[in-house]
Structure 1
Amino acid sequence: MDVGELLNYQPDRGAKRNRDGDGGAAGADEDSRGGKQHKGLSAREMARYREAGVGIEGGGEMRDYDDLSQDRKRILEKLMDRDEEEPEAEPVDESSVKKMILTFEKRSYKNQELRIKFPDNPEKFMETELDLNDVIQEMHVIATMPDLYHLLVELNARAPHVAIAVVDLLQELTDIDTLQESEEGAEVLIDSLLEGQVVALLVQSMERLDEQVKEEADGIYNTLGKDMYTITAKMPFDANKLYCSEILAILLQNNDNTRELLGEMDGIDVLLQQLSVFKRHNPSTAEEQEMMENLFDALCSCLMLAANRDRFLKGEGLQLMNLMLREKKMSRCSSMKVLDHGMIGAEGADNCHKFVDILGLRTIFPLFMKTPKKMKKSVSSEKEHEEHVCSIIASMLRNLKSQQRSRLLNKFTENDCEKVDRLMEMHFKYLEAVQQADKRIEGEKHADGCNVTCARTVIQLSKAFTGNASSSALTCKTGKDLHA
């Protein structure tokens, strides 16, 4: 077969072409067609090689794709080696941190100035925003140097807006939905915050913020949220939970705005959840008992706001307090105080009706008849116990209607009106205490203050009862004028 026959030869279309051929005849045939497509390569592969800059010259062999990948790897390795050869960043010390803080303050003030000057023209302060963001990113390195944190605290004292930004960041970091995605990461974050005494820093920040300024009011809101999260984050008791409970109790004492804010943040439910631990278990240490009392005090302060009483009712707070009274644990004294705050006044009418519906009369009247022995060993005194019990019953006498009112009055007729006898006993006991206090009011006013307060409560209960019960029944049992 001569050369002409070889050039004119075409293989059978049904036959499978060998991809690994030596490129003899087929290569010549492809060359004769102008090199339309090389043997064994698709059009897509050809395009991929052309994009990579690999040429095909006059029938020479093309580098395969693996060789190209090796070239790319070598390029990446060279780039990485070049990065490693760059000089290391200067070490972080006190002077460098102070320099970063100074730069941050300058850029922050400049950004604020331009924002105030051009509030409707973001292009004017966009460059300062970028500069400020750059220095903030540089300051992240301080997180690895705990011994330099005191420099940030000094910055905190001079720039309240920084404190607001930090608190806002903490609020986002401790968002419950975010933390549930990684329990391990949440534990690390919480431990780091507690070790850095974040609670004390939050308190210091709140002391300097002005609620009249919207931005600072938002900072207070986020700070309260952080305190509530610290209380609920870990079930085991620790010193930080004690500290947070004390802070909440203090903040809620005489501030209706704070009480309303905590109610809007579902704080009532949080307090009830934390107190439910002590329903069947006593505090194991004196510090844990103090935390329990702080939480009860915070709840009592919240209930002084009418809106929070509805939240307390919907959160089944009455049921929890009623169970605590029945369980006879250390929480019983404080739970009675909570019931007193939740049912007093016209705003407590709904709670009074609900308390009767959950069979609370069966719980409260045994405590009315006799002060428990364990109560005498607890923090609460006998007089405080009698004061809260009488106040609860007096509130129900004022607020109950229809069937619930009848059920309450029927309690006083049981067992030959023994509860009326107890009421008269307490009435004359504290009436005498008031008369004695009046005689020596100047010298022993403070000593008899508790007697006077309790006496007023018992007398109010007596008057409320006489307004609802038959005067003839009282005369038969006591033989005395109740209003004497």
Structure 2
Amino acid sequence: MRRAVVEHGNGEISHDDVPSFPSYRRPPSPTTTAEVDLSLLEALESSQTAAALEALDLKGLKKLVLAFERRLRDNIAARLKYPDQPEKFADSEIELHDEIEKLKVLSGSPELYPDLVNLNTIPSLLGLLSHDNIDIAIDVVHLLQELTGEDVLEDNDEPARTLVDSLVENNVLELLVQLLPRLSETDPDEMAAVYNVLATIENLIEVRPVVAELVCERTKLMRWLLGKIKTREFDGNKQYASELLAILMQSSAANQKRLGGMNGVDVVLQAVAMYKSRDPRTPDEEEMVENLFDCLCCLLMPLENKERFLKAEGVELMIIVMNQKKFCYASAIRALDFAMTNYPPACERFVDVMGLKTAFPAYMGKANSHEQGQEETQQRRIGRAPDIISCIII
């Protein structure tokens, strides 16, 4: 007999006695993967998945929920009985993980969402977002993202609202945002979980627009988003953070004022300042920069935020961006338009810092680039800038 090291799904390690056999290496198979018809395997897998989705009804849902609740109780009992012996409850968490995965089949039958709510499963699921094992919490986040996906809820408005209302009533917003600091973006799985958290919140807003204000009132999501867009390194989660922040700003005047009071104007200006003299490197990064300017323009609608913009030298920064004639050129003009509308102090500052000298080339539809290709590209970016500048001057 020899001792084998076994790593469980939650990262815990146990030692079990297993028989010792001489090592044996299987000879190469004469059938290579190239000879296997992968299309047949994919078709078989798709047909099995479709069959599983079609087979789910209320009876099947109750069976899934019962199995999930049983595994949840087993895990809770094992953790209470052996709090300092992870190997004693590791198996129960693997089984709990499997049951959560099985619940994903419900995304194929959104008409059963009201039944899921009536079975009182939502509180049990959401409670796992605070589970000590981060992998279990990640499983639930992935499940929520699938259940609330746009493609799933597209033609199921009433079931979708029933599910979202139940989730919000059971504190899904607070629990999701509280999970974010626990996730390390140096780990690929946890980085993906951050993305899924943001996607789930966006899905909830899509179904119930009032969630845009609720999530800002009840949680520290906006502060987390501000921290994310301040980072210099670009990644998919930074892009999504900018997109979600723009959605929150577009949806609510209260959110615009709330973010302004959190030093949001200054933070967004710092984020766009990274691109004052360079272009984004990828289309995704371009989209993020556009999201940031969308945030800035929305922020500049309340009067108090115009004052903050002026104090943070936002007018000067936008003029610098225009002088550089990079990707942000037209976006800077748009931001100035929002800043100066019905706010004379910003107009005066614009004139005082020689903004008209920078504005007139755009007003005339010209971009003084040294290379013809750059000039043509800049003209496309300016778009309706002459009309915008005309409004500013008037």
- TM bucket, shorter chain: 0.5 to 0.7
| Relative contact order, higher structure (CA 8 A, sep 6+) | 2
Q: Percent identity between the aligned chains? A: 14
> Structure 1, residues 44-69: CA drift from partner, whole Å, max 9, x if none?
xxxxxxxxxxxxxxxxxxxxxxxxxx
Q: 1:234 to 1:404 in 2, by over 3 A?
A: same
* Cα distance between partner residues in 1 of 2:197 and 2:337: 34
> Which of 216, 230, 247 does residue 263 from structure 1 map onto?
216
Please give the secondary structure, in 1, of the residue aligned with 2:384.
helix
Aligned residue in 2 for 1:118: none
Normalised to the residue count of structure 2, the TM-score between the two structures is 0.58
* Cα distance between partner residues in 2 of 1:172 and 1:149: 13
1:245 and 2:188 are equivalent in the alignment: no
Normalised to the residue count of structure 1, the TM-score between the two structures is 0.48
> Structure 1, residues 292-340: CA drift from partner, whole Å, max 9, x if none?
1111111111111212101111121112122234455968984674344
Aligned residue in 1 for 2:264: 317
- Superposed, 1:386-397 pairs within 5 Å as 386-397=329-340
Aligned residue in 2 for 1:368: 322
Q: 1:263 to 1:345 in 2, by over 3 A?
A: closer
Task: Indicate conservation of the 8 Å contact 1:303/1:341, yes or no.
Answer: yes
1:192 and 2:141 are equivalent in the alignment: no
Residue identity opposite 1:397 in structure 2: M
Q: 1:400 to 1:254 in 2, by over 3 A?
A: farther
Task: Indicate conservation of the 8 Å contact 1:210/1:216, yes or no.
Answer: no
How many angstroms does 1:263 deviate by? Answer: 2.6
Aligned residue in 1 for 2:361: 425
1:168 and 2:123 are equivalent in the alignment: yes
Number of aligned positions between the proteins = 286
Give unmatched runs, 5+ long, in structure 1.
1-100, 109-131, 176-184, 284-288, 373-381, 413-418, 432-447, 468-484
> Which of 330, 338, 343 does residue 292 from structure 2 map onto?
338
Aligned residue in 2 for 1:301: 247
Aligned residue in 2 for 1:127: none
> Which of 199, 202, 209 does residue 144 from structure 2 map onto?
202
> Structure 1, residues 113-157: CA drift from partner, whole Å, max 9, x if none?
xxxxxxxxxxxxxxxxxxx9xx95687347552555555555785
* Cα distance between partner residues in 1 of 2:256 and 2:100: 43
Residue identity opposite 2:238 in structure 1: M
Aligned residue in 2 for 1:459: 387
* Cα distance between partner residues in 2 of 1:215 and 1:149: 21
How many angstroms does 1:341 deviate by? Answer: 3.6
Give unmatched runs, 5+ long, in structure 2.
1-57, 75-91, 368-375
* Cα distance between partner residues in 1 of 2:206 and 2:268: 21
* Cα distance between partner residues in 2 of 1:299 and 1:248: 11
The CA RMSD measured in Å over matched residues stands at 4.3
* Cα distance between partner residues in 1 of 2:128 and 2:143: 17
Question: Which of 1 and 2 has greater Rg?
Answer: 1
Aligned residue in 1 for 2:73: 140
